């Protein structure tokens, strides 16, 4: 018949794990009850992928968990419920193939402490080349899979070879098989994530060139890390994204154009860092307000009344040029209400310039919601913690410090999952 139209690799269903390998050989580990369900569901899925006139050859690892997975697949594939199956059991050939067995992890496993040390050493050395004591490296497994691939390819020339070939094997061996077949690099192999239990990896024959095209999108750890990083930058949330205004000159968007025109202010403290700048800002704001209300002045003809009203809103009354006293500077650096959850609430810094700093501080302490600033005034927080809690960007938005910490936690979680996936438990179970 020639080459099969499809090659399907299946990782075994869920099997027993944890500390069982200290007393039970790896090849005798059996499926869990959930694993049996997974295997039978895989048989139903396989049936949906086949044509009624397909013939089948199974090659399975001789380990108990892979043989039981094959049995579960065949049970549902050949079942006559709910409809008669076009694949009678006697027409399906099943071969045990020792070269498809899992990477040898030694004999009975040592204590968990020793296993942890060995797995850390394996991670440092490299998963592909590290040879397990009394066992194999992934490179050793690659060598025997290479021999199996050559034997499989030669069998395609047999007249009675099936139209669909199913390989029931293990997680690492699935990746090693693909590495050999598609000439993956060592670096790409080590970046690949493990396939799920009973996940199908499908290779379809392209009649035009006689090559097998991989139908799956293989998942990698580096891609997962990028996705986590991007999700931190652009979270999927019902809260709308901040609008980006227009396009500036040279094709720059509004943000880039504004950034090129001026340096972005990082926090509120920079606004009050220079008294000369403060004076100029107050004068500019007054002039801008006067220009904006020019027609009001013309219609009323009362310049002094307008000036008084502007002074009440724009700067404290009187001849003083300084609009911020040194003692009040620390309060303003933290935001009018201390930042945090009370941003936007009524400010304790009332517009009456006659209020003393002592009154302002007492008012802050009396607030029902305990802001960072109020706690600092009571001596409940140290200075470093205050700076961290009340930091804000140029728009008064929340600091990115917490987001950076969350991003670090996400990265640690991905690293933990990767280590578990590449550990003995992740490989075997």
What's the whole-number mean pLDDT along residues 248-253? Answer: 48
**Does some domain include residue 385?**
no
Task: Give the pLDDT of residue 141.
Answer: 97
Tens digits of residue pLDDT in 274-325:
445 545 555 655 665 555 544 444 444 444 444 444 444 444 555 544 444 5
Does a structural domain hold residue 191? yes
Residue 101 lies in a domain: yes
pLDDT exceeds cutoff 60 at 334: no
Is residue 115 in some structural domain?
yes
Active-site annotation holds for 297 = no
Per-residue confidence (pLDDT) for residue 72, from 0 to 100: 98
pLDDT band at 12 (very low <50, low <70, confident <90, very high): very high
Mean pLDDT of 168-179: 96
* pLDDT reported for residue 13: 96
With respect to residue 159, please indicate whether it lies within any of the assigned structural domains.
yes
* 227 pLDDT higher than 80: yes
Confidence of residue 386 (pLDDT cuts 50, 70, 90): very low
Distance CA 378, CA 357 (A): 15
Task: Summarize the confidence of residues 202-230 as an average pLDDT.
Answer: 92
Residue 368 lies in a domain: no
pLDDT at 17 over 60: yes
> Cα torsion for 268, 269, 274, 277, to the nearest 10°?
0
Measure CA 295 to chain center.
Answer: 57
For CA atoms 8, 58, 64, 22, give the dihedral sign: negative
What digits encode the pLDDT tens for the residues 355-370? 555 665 565 555 554 4
Instruction: List pLDDT tens digits, range 102-128.
Output: 999 888 877 778 888 888 899 899 999
**Whether pLDDT at 417 is above 60:** yes
**What is the rounded average pLDDT for all residues in the chain?**
74
Which residues are bridge partners to 57 per DSSP?
Answer: 93, 165
Which pLDDT value is given to residue 425?
A: 60
Asked if residue 172 is part of any domain, the answer here is: yes
Please give, one letter per residue, the 3-state secondary structure of 2-31: CCCCEEEEEECCCECCHHHHHCCCHHHCCE
**Signed CA dihedral, 20, 26, 30, 36: sign only:** positive
Domain membership of residue 197 as a residue range = 6-220
| Mean pLDDT to the nearest integer, 166-176 | 96
12 counts as catalytic: yes
| CATH at 85 | 3.40.50.1240
Q: List the catalytic residue out of 40, 97, 102, 190.
A: 102
Mean pLDDT, rounded, for 411-417? 74
Using a pLDDT cut of 70, give the percent of the chain over it.
Answer: 55
Number of domains in the chain: 1
Residues with Cβ within 8 Å of 26's Cβ and at least 6 positions away in sequence, in order, are: 63, 102, 104, 105, 428
Give a yes or no: residue 382 inside a domain.
no
Threshold 0.85, pTM exceeds: no
Contact 194, 421 (CB under 8 A): yes
Structure tokens at 109: 């496993």
Mean pLDDT along residues 253-269: 48
């Amino acid at each position: 018949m020639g080459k099969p139209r499809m090659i399907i690799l299946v990782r075994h269903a869920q099997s027993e794990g944890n500390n069982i390998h200290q007393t039970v050989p790896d090849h005798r580990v059996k499926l869990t009850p959930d694993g049996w369900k997974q295997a039978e569901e895989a048989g139903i899925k396989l049936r949906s992928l086949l044509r009624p006139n397909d013939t089948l050859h199974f090659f399975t690892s001789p380990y108990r968990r892979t043989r039981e997975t094959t049995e579960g697949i065949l049970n549902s594939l050949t079942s006559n419920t709910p409809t008669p199956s076009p694949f009678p059991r006697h027409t399906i050939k099943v071969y045990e193939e020792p070269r498809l067995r899992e990477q040898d992890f030694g004999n009975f496993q040592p204590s968990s402490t020793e296993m942890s040390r060995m797995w850390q050493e394996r991670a440092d050395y490299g998963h592909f080349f590290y040879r397990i004591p009394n066992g194999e490296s992934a490179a050793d497994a690659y060598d025997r899979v290479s021999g199996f691939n050559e034997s499989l390819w030669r069998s395609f020339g047999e007249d009675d070879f099936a139209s669909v070939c199913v390989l029931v094997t293990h997680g690492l061996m699935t990746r090693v098989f693909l590495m050999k077949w598609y000439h993956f690099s060592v670096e790409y192999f080590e970046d690949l994530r493990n396939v799920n239990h009973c996940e199908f990896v499908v290779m379809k024959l392209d009649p035009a060139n006689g090559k097998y095209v991989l139908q799956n999108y293989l998942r990698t750890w580096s891609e997962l890390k990028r996705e986590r990083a991007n999700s931190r930058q652009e979270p999927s949330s019902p809260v709308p994204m901040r609008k980006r205004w227009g396009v500036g000159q040279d094709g720059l968007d509004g943000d880039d154009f504004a950034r090129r025109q001026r340096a972005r202010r990082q926090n509120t403290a920079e606004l009050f860092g220079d008294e000369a700048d403060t004076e100029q800002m107050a004068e500019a704001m007054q002039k801008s307000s006067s220009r904006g209300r020019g027609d009001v002045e013309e219609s009323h003809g009362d310049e002094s009344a307008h000036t008084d009203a502007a002074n009440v809103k724009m700067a404290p009354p009187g001849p003083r040029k300084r609009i911020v006293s040194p003692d009040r500077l620390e309060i303003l650096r933290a935001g009018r209400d201390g930042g945090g959850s009370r941003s936007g609430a009524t400010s304790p810094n009332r517009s009456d310039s006659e209020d003393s700093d002592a009154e302002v501080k007492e008012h802050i302490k009396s607030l029902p919601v305990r802001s960072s600033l109020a706690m600092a005034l009571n001596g409940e927080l140290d200075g470093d913690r205050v700076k961290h809690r009340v930091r804000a960007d140029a728009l008064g938005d929340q600091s990115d410090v917490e987001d950076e910490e969350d991003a670090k936690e996400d990265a640690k979680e991905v690293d933990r999952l990767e280590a578990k996936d590449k550990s003995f438990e992740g490989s075997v179970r």
